[in-house]
Amino acid sequence: MRSTGVRPPEGRADRGKKMTAEELRRLYFDFFTSRGHTLVQGASLIPQEDSTILFTPAGMQPLVPYLLGEKHPGGSRLVDIQKCIRTGDIEEVGDPTHLTFFEMLGNWSLGDYFKREAIEWSFEFLTGREWLGFDPGLLSVTVFAGDGQVPPDDEAASIWEDMGVPPERIHFLGRKDNWWGPTGATGPCGPDTEMFIDTGRPPCGPRCMPGCGCGKYFEIWNDVFMQYRKTSDGDFVSLEQRNVDTGMGVERTVAMMNGCTSVFEVPVFQPLLGRLEELTGAGAGGTGDRVRSLRIISDHIRTATHILGDDQGVPPSNLDRGYVLRRLIRLAIRHGRKLGIEDPFTRDLAGLVIETESDDHPELARNREFVLSELHQEEQRFESTLQSGLREFEKLLPNLLRNPAATVPGRVAFKLYDTYGFPVEFTAELASEHGLKVDMEGYGKAFDKHRELSRQGGGGKFKGGLADNSEMVTRLHTATHLLHQALREVLGDHVEQKGSNITEKRLRFDFSHPEAMTGEEIRAVEVRVNEIIEADLPVVCEEKLLEEALEEGAIGLFRSRYGDMVKVYSIGSFSTEICGGPHVARTGELGHFRILKEKSSSGGVRRIRAVLE
């Protein structure tokens, strides 16, 4: 597709070599493995060891235990590439730089090197002729300005000056821009330094600088210096093990190296935008709103495809991850309608994503049918939702327009969501078209109440599905291994764990199965689990190479989050699974197993609640 952006003027300094994403990944891995880093596999988009987040937002998230001092099998220097999803700035998608799904290259020091080596290597990889070859004159950086809790990062600024970056291109910014906080309420954190490439566009004004958002400066790399741990009291204490976490955005870097003015000009988006041109009967040009809609559709369908196509993929729903996924899909459809696309199109675009990216992400091909089926069903559901929600909004509109506050009450917006499945984002968009606003605070209160009612008796999201490591949780966690294998024996080998949630009172286990279990099947599973408990089998843990464990028949459903070495728990000859959670020593410690309920969780996924008595 022909770029619609402005290229840098003739005679500008070199913006680096032209390079594909595959070439960038290879070069990055070569650079850091030659400097003693072990190449490790990225984790799933669906976090298994962090209860505080819905999707993996950065390369650091799967490595938190090692950042806190646990020894990594790969050593103290690591390099990887991580699939990431961030929706906190979803409203910015459509501008030149923001994506909800992206890939992040990272190199890691776990108590090994620190600021000087990290900055020196960043500078070398960016500007070295055998590496990316950016002209140093195009490089600007930001560092942490400090605040009342943490001092300014003068050390990082001094190292950049040693690299030849002049002080006028070293900018001190606050916590919003140059601080990497923990992904949850507590955890490792610290100041960062970010690297920007000058695109050649004119400045937006006298205060134009990296981070101002005008597009002149394009961020491509971020070095985080984890010096602190945020405590539950909100204090920042020094970490005994100081770490380095860096992140280089693949899409952004490829865009800069190929003279693009937007991440949407990189090759991965071209099949999607080309197909959208065909569907809308027009080129990629047009008004700003049109371009923004094209970009939003491309981004959101790509993200939805990766969520569904992940080996731990979740279907659309009205809570948590499923709600985020549903929102992305429905926003894409909504923007498709704005461009005049009336027929179903999400499966078509998802097929292009799978075709384009499955070489680098083979899980997309493995889960192709699930991806396409869920998108087809969601598009059908949304068509009905859209029509009923639109009709209801139109009924309400005359009264809303008479409201002197020109506001849609939060309870009304929530009723549209709760009764008709109409997303509040769409209500806000329709309201805006008529000069109205939505009371989002009121909507949020109504939604929070709905969330709590939905979760009564069901628990929240826990670390690795566990509320804690108490004795009862440990017993119930061990019981999930027995339940999993018993389900496979009774129902068939197609059964795979899709999630679990364990409190001191009960276990909840989600598994793949196309239909409701019969009463006879439920009783057979109960009997089989209790037979293994009564047999008082030993629960044995061994550390093995991942490939060795899989070859020996261990069930490994969350492969994308494993390292080279894994823990394998064997329960006699009955069950063998790769797992990192707590377990009892013998099955006889568990007590009597009883299934309380079996029901649907989502399309093709069933849910069992059970207890130990």
pLDDT per residue as tens digits for the range 487-543 = 999 999 899 888 888 888 899 999 999 999 999 999 999 999 999 998 888 888 887
pLDDT per residue as tens digits for the range 110-164 = 999 999 999 999 999 999 999 999 999 999 999 999 988 889 999 999 999 999 9
Distance CA 60, CA 108 (A): 9
**Residue 70: how many other CB atoms lie within 10 Å:** 11
> Domain holding 25: CATH number?
3.30.930.10
Distance CA 215, CA 210 (A): 9
Evaluate whether residue 106 is within a structural domain: yes
Distance CA 457, CA 455 (A): 6
What's the rounded mean pLDDT across residues 409-416? 89
Structure tokens at 221: 């790399």
Q: Are residues 413 and 396 in the same domain?
A: no
Predicted pLDDT of residue 501: 85
- How many domains are contained in the chain? 4
Structure tokens at 213: 């958002």
Q: Are residues 452 and 553 in the same domain?
A: no
Evaluate whether residue 583 is within a structural domain: yes
Distance CA 400, CA 395 (A): 10
Evaluate whether residue 463 is within a structural domain: no
Predicted pLDDT of residue 465: 54
Q: Are residues 246 and 305 in the same domain?
A: no
SS3 95: strand
Predicted pLDDT of residue 13: 37
DSSP 560: G
The band of 52, judged by pLDDT with boundaries at 50, 70 and 90, is: low
- Segments forming the whole domain that contains residue 553: 471-612
Mean pLDDT is lowest, of 223-227, 251-255, 326-330, 417-421, for 417-421
Mean pLDDT is lowest, of 54-63, 430-439, 596-605, for 54-63
pLDDT per residue as tens digits for the range 444-503 = 888 777 655 444 323 344 455 555 567 888 899 899 999 999 999 999 989 988 888 888
Mean pLDDT is lowest, of 104-113, 228-237, 528-537, for 228-237
Q: Are residues 150 and 244 in the same domain?
A: yes
The band of 3, judged by pLDDT with boundaries at 50, 70 and 90, is: very low
Predicted pLDDT of residue 104: 94
Predicted pLDDT of residue 577: 86
Q: What is the CA radius of gyration of the chain?
A: 26
Evaluate whether residue 461 is within a structural domain: no
Which residues have C-beta within 8 Å of that of residue 157, sequence separation ≥ 6? 143, 167, 170, 172
> Domain holding 597: CATH number?
3.30.980.10
Distances (CA, A) of 243 to 78, 114, 247, 420: 11, 7, 13, 48
The pTM assigned to this predicted structure is 0.65
pLDDT per residue as tens digits for the range 276-303 = 999 987 654 455 888 999 999 999 999 9
Evaluate whether residue 311 is within a structural domain: yes
